[in-house]
Amino acid sequence: MTPNILHLITSLKIGGTETLVAALCHSQKSRYNVYAGYIKEPGDVLDDVRADGVPVQKFSGLLDLCRFLRRNQIHVLHTHLYRANILGRIAGALCRTPVIISSQHGIDLWRKPHHSLVDRSTARFADCILPDSEAAKTKLLTRERIAEDKIRVLRSCAVDPSTFVSKRTREEVRKELGVADNVTVLGCIARLHREKGMDRLVPLMKLIMARIPNIVVIVAGDGPLRDDLEREIQAAGLRDHVRILGWRRDIPDLLSAMDVFCLLSREESFPRVLLEAMLLRCPVAAMNVGGVSEAMAHETHGLLVPDGDLAGMAAAITTLVESREEAGEMADRGRERVIRKYTLDRMLADTELLYRELIDRKLKKS
């Protein structure tokens, strides 16, 4: 019997978790009957999954999802992100789906007490809950108070060294962006949201420009702060020094054009974008939040700065720009670490081992 699997996610717009679900579907479709489902927003990743030959379904609510689980005799329901985790666990329990797995892709500092209560109340329906970092696991234990025997850390944020490569030269990318080769390029790749620290960008640039006046920051991303951020940039007289590019699919090309990658987030579990920068040997300066220090070690793979210390971040970026040999050595070690520990193949293999264990245990019982 070939098991039937449904990956249920809150949305399929562009993002790290959405890209992960697409990778899981692609990897598993040769061994399982794989379906993908979402409950909120479609997006570019939806087209990618469909083009890969995986059936995709939008669910309007609990009854709709239950009908699908029963009609397609789903054996493994793997949910991703908060809303899908809650809805999926309840539906899976009602339909007696043999295996229910919930992935926790982040720390979710936005949660209110009632969110934690609902998460804790429905966690008992899951066979396994998968945070992607020790920091996220700690939150599940202390904030959600979920039983430790249900939790396994699985590094779901991973990169594929065979495909995550720059297709254009540094010079070509800089020419497109209108940036001369002698200009220092600082890069941010993030959703334009407070949790990603993008409200810190303009104050940081003011500090950096006192040290490195010939600098441009490129921002790949979009989000609710965009209008406010553009107004701040204009008011601060930084329009010539900040380029907001919106969402981009050519992230490897952009990283190849950067002198330093900067992570300003207030919260992160295990940021894929950090691994991407490390893989492409881009020197990294990052706020030391959540699981960031699990991905990289200070002064070994890049520079870590206490959360909110913008003066410290400006100093770290200046160090990486002025000490290029040291920065290059850290970047080399960062790439080696990613290839050794955080590749997509390794993550997919770890996920497959978990699936086989749970399928063998639960389906044999039934």
Q: Provide φ and ψ at 24, rounded to 5°.
A: -65, -45
Domain of residue 87: give its range.
4-158+344-365
Per DSSP, helices labelled H in the chain are: 16-28, 44-51, 62-71, 82-94, 113-123, 134-142, 170-177, 201-209, 226-235, 251-257, 272-279, 292-295, 310-322, 324-341, 344-365
Residue 165 lies in a domain: no
Question: pTM for the whole thing?
Answer: 0.91
Residue 9 lies in a domain: yes
The Cα 324–Cα 89 span in angstroms is 50
Question: Between the CA of residue 243 and those of 185, 218, 280, what are the distances in Å?
Answer: 11, 5, 21
Q: Are residues 206 and 317 in the same domain?
A: yes
Please report the sign of the dihedral spanned by the C-alpha atoms of residue 103, residue 56, residue 247, residue 28.
Answer: positive
The Cα 346–Cα 354 span in angstroms is 13
CATH code for the domain in which residue 255 is found? 3.40.50.2000
Residue 34 lies in a domain: yes
Q: Are residues 224 and 354 in the same domain?
A: no
Residue 55 lies in a domain: yes
Contact 366, 75 (CB under 8 A): no
Q: Are residues 349 and 332 in the same domain?
A: no
Q: Are residues 123 and 246 in the same domain?
A: no
Residue 314 lies in a domain: yes
Q: Are residues 185 and 148 in the same domain?
A: no
First to last CA, the chain: 13
Residue 164 lies in a domain: no
Of 77, 112, 91, the residue nearest 6 (C-alpha):
77
Structurally, the chain folds into a number of domains equal to 2
Q: How many CA atoms lie within 13 A of 160 on its CB side?
A: 10
Residue 83 lies in a domain: yes
Q: Are residues 202 and 154 in the same domain?
A: no
Strand partners, 102: 79, 129
The Cα 269–Cα 340 span in angstroms is 20
Residue 59 lies in a domain: yes
Each residue's pLDDT, cut to its tens digit, for the chain (366 residues) gives 899 999 999 887 667 788 888 889 999 999 999 999 999 877 677 788 888 899 999 999 999 999 999 999 999 999 998 999 999 999 999 999 999 999 988 777 677 888 888 999 999 999 999 999 999 999 999 888 889 999 999 998 899 999 999 999 999 999 999 999 999 999 999 999 999 999 999 999 999 999 999 999 999 999 999 999 999 999 999 999 999 999 998 999 999 999 999 999 999 999 999 999 999 999 999 999 999 999 999 999 999 999 999 999 999 999 999 999 999 999 999 999 999 999 999 999 999 999 999 999 887 665
Q: Are residues 129 and 214 in the same domain?
A: no
Contact 88, 51 (CB under 8 A): no
Q: Are residues 186 and 248 in the same domain?
A: yes
